[in-house]
Chain A
């Protein structure tokens, strides 16, 4: 069987289907750029669903209530930080645009506010974030009001313990209790959040669960559940469960990879093509070459080789977990284009002695150095190519893990890159 080479020609090619790549495709689509998006299944399924802007200052310090003010401090102390490549107003616009897109596609989020929200983690610690899925938002309200609340877990669901959530929150939220239920139709063995979520998309399971919840709730009117309220249209699943049970219900994220990430991925993979993006999912770009008339990207899927020709490229390939960076024994590399990677002097300096050291590990700050337009730089400090831009956590000079700014870096740099692409192509 001979396989025919297929050609895709577009204005913008986005490499990577993490949050940065998807956000770039959303922004490009909204700006009527003809866009192709490719990427392997990425780290998106890992997120809790919370979209963080900035939850702590780089290098340690207490949790931040006001991320916007912290951005100003960051401007002064770390101008190289990717969040400093654009104004706070633009970042606000980027979050608004992205969450509105998700909302219009059926996944509602709280809009970016003036302050961070305090949200629950799977083990009952607290975390700061900017935008919260609507299915989880009532949890924040209940926490603030210290409402009597019941946390429910399920027999066979590993790694989510209501007693753990209650034990760890008990100090700051005294009227909290825990209960365990058998999930309808899943009496024995291990059960998985994704399977439970898909099951809750059927009316019968919802009715059954609502009844169980009503019984176990007693006098309590607010109930926290692990994040299992459907993959598609979770807001509707939650609303119906509330109606059937007469309870206020909210979700608590489970340990990733989990339902909230799967929701995002499935939604974006479904909606972007409907809105004109050429999506080539589950594939890795093998080579990327900068020719005179176009940037050429080579990849292959089950049906054979594909060539994408684009006028501009956004590289959003993530870090080690996603393959955007490689940690070779003699140094950190960027495998696709062998772009210079800003990094610690030697492997001995990658990690500090203490794992949870508040200052974070130097390796986390390694990555691609860019100019103000988010264009990766050569060793000489010049843009590698005027058509190449870069977005997401592959960028150097940030530690998204310690400063709780994963979505922030992804969304902000995607926004900036798309703006720059538009300018380039508009010229």
Chain B
């Protein structure tokens, strides 16, 4: 390993120190942060965008019982089963124990359906036979064409709430901190050690040096690239894009899985007031280029409608795509791959003693992944405390409560303050919720973007997808002096652009009307499509703006 002299050695930028730097604010990174904090270790978590910007914020939200994997990956099945039981007990408020159904329909392989209970039993997974009639009584939207059905212990999980609670808990234990929009771009080395990481603020471009004793790469699909930056060429990932759809209504109360080998459009997961349908799987070359297409949307709908015909006609709010990192296939004799499904690289073979990478796996197994990474980090720090995430319940932090569907309206009705006006009318998010998020939610900061606020609440998640509440929340933030110049307009535009990415492929029927109204407001009336023109034409405004961001 050649001792590299960093291109960023000039002392121009700020420096912060921590015991452990964790790169990647997905569920794995957040899990490691809390696991370390429970061992008394201080860490800093960074994400180039924000919490759950990667797969953790764009998945099905299914806390697997394990039944999904019984036919082809027993080890993952068993892991899921264990984690499912643990998390239900320890992270109760983030999980809804919905139960799941596996259903085969006329034309599906009957041998697969017949073998299913046996496979489950080998993996220790509870599985109860139900008649097709009984299944339809449980879930009236199920197709008439069901030929077999089983009930399992699937559950659903709110990853945003889960991640926020993890970060909040770690902060309260050891003062560990979280930094959004910090893009890791380089490491400094000293022989067999990384000494610091250089991050670029993806909003301002400012550089920051973070010194640490240990470095953890929890970069999900980007883990290969991050490892490369540390000079470790051996994290080979391939990328599978999955596309999911969110329906306007909650169509079932159980998770509904198709009883056949995993394929497109075969799971419908309830989540709060909506349902999530998916997924597709498409090999792509660049994890940054994962956007849903109309073809994937149509494919999910066509497949899903075989189980639940209502899926053909229901209204969809949005579609989104995220990337699963695929590990090198099979057991290649490399003992770092001893655990299938996810992989922990200690990078000892690359000549580094304070860097590790954890990637792959599932949301359901994040705790286990975090624990294994934290075990390694703690040992390297000489900390002998053992992990406690399998016994310590996750506490509730008030500032994280706004992600829960129904929390805001409940709070608002209880508080009964008429002057605390509702800003997001679909999800009933009041002014006081916005105040609390801006003040103290994990990652709260000056000039917080509308996207960051939406991530920490239900704002913009309802039928209007933020088209109207985005305007109202921005006005409110101006009122509160949070915005003092045209930054608020840019944030509004960026927020609408971001929300649109999810709506673009599902706009049809009534959504076309809503989109027309939204565009008439945002572009026709407010001129958000021409902000740059207006700024160009008015040099005075520009000068004032740059002046304002300088201090």
Which residue from A160, A170, A329, A350 sits with its C-beta under 8 Å from B485? A170
Secondary structure type dominating chain A contacts: loop
- The interface bits of chain B over 468-491 (1 if a CB of A lies within 8 angstroms of the residue's CB, else 0) are 000110111011010111101100
Q: Beyond the given A125-B534, A168-B486, please list 4 additional residue pairs across the A-B interface where CB-CB is below 8 A.
A: A256-B525, A327-B507, A353-B501, A355-B504
Secondary structure type dominating chain B contacts: helix
- Taking the complex as formed, is A420 at the interface, i.e. its CB lies under 8 A from any CB of chain B? no
Which residue, of B422, B530, B544, has the highest number of chain A Cβ atoms within 10 A?
A: B530
CB distance from B534 to the nearest CB of A (A): 6
- Taking the complex as formed, is A386 at the interface, i.e. its CB lies under 8 A from any CB of chain B? no
- Taking the complex as formed, is B129 at the interface, i.e. its CB lies under 8 A from any CB of chain A? no
Question: Using Cβ atoms and an 8 Å threshold, which residues of chain A touch B528?
Answer: 125, 356
Residue pair A121, B513 in contact (C-beta under 8 Å): no
Which residue from A62, A171, A358 sits with its C-beta under 8 Å from B545? A171
Question: Using Cβ atoms and an 8 Å threshold, which residues of chain B touch A123?
Answer: 471, 474-475, 489, 526
The chain A residues found within 8 Å of chain B, CB to CB, are: 46, 48, 56, 62-63, 121-123, 125-127, 155-156, 158-161, 163-164, 167-168, 170-172, 188-190, 253, 255-256, 319-321, 323, 325-329, 346-348, 350-351, 353-358, 361, 363-364, 400-402, 404, 406
- Asked if A358 meets B529 with Cβ closer than 8 Å, knowing A123-B471, A329-B508, the reply is yes
Which of B62-70, B291-299, B372-380 sits within the interface?
B291-299
- Asked if A167 meets B475 with Cβ closer than 8 Å, knowing A327-B507, A355-B497, A402-B523, the reply is no
> How far apart sit A406 and B516, CA to CA, in the bound complex (Å)?
13
- Taking the complex as formed, is B509 at the interface, i.e. its CB lies under 8 A from any CB of chain A? yes
Residue pair A190, B418 in contact (C-beta under 8 Å): yes
Question: Closest residue to A188 on the B side, CB-wise?
Answer: B418
Residue pair B504, A353 in contact (C-beta under 8 Å): yes
Residue pair A401, B527 in contact (C-beta under 8 Å): no
Residue pair A327, B508 in contact (C-beta under 8 Å): yes
Question: Closest residue to B504 on the A side, CB-wise?
Answer: A351
Residue pair B527, A125 in contact (C-beta under 8 Å): yes
Residue pair A171, B544 in contact (C-beta under 8 Å): yes
Which residue from B474, B481, B486, B530 sits with its C-beta under 8 Å from A63? B530
Question: Using Cβ atoms and an 8 Å threshold, which residues of chain A touch B345?
Answer: none
> How far apart sit A425 and B530, CA to CA, in the bound complex (Å)?
45
> How far apart sit A312 and B295, CA to CA, in the bound complex (Å)?
43
Number of interface residues of B (CB under 8 A): 64
Contacts across chains A and B counted by CB atoms under 8 Å: 168
CB distance from A257 to the nearest CB of B (A): 10
- Asked if A353 meets B291 with Cβ closer than 8 Å, knowing A164-B488, A358-B530, A401-B520, the reply is yes
Question: Using Cβ atoms and an 8 Å threshold, which residues of chain B touch A160?
Answer: 475
CB distance from B312 to the nearest CB of A (A): 10
> How far apart sit A164 and B472, CA to CA, in the bound complex (Å)?
11
Question: Closest residue to A255 on the B side, CB-wise?
Answer: B471
- Taking the complex as formed, is B537 at the interface, i.e. its CB lies under 8 A from any CB of chain A? yes
- Taking the complex as formed, is B328 at the interface, i.e. its CB lies under 8 A from any CB of chain A? no
- Taking the complex as formed, is B533 at the interface, i.e. its CB lies under 8 A from any CB of chain A? yes
Question: Closest residue to B496 on the A side, CB-wise?
Answer: A355
- Taking the complex as formed, is B172 at the interface, i.e. its CB lies under 8 A from any CB of chain A? no
> How far apart sit A100 and B489, CA to CA, in the bound complex (Å)?
36
Question: Using Cβ atoms and an 8 Å threshold, which residues of chain B touch A402?
Answer: 523-524, 529
Interface residues of B in 412-463 (CB under 8 A from A): 418-419, 421-423
- Taking the complex as formed, is B512 at the interface, i.e. its CB lies under 8 A from any CB of chain A? yes
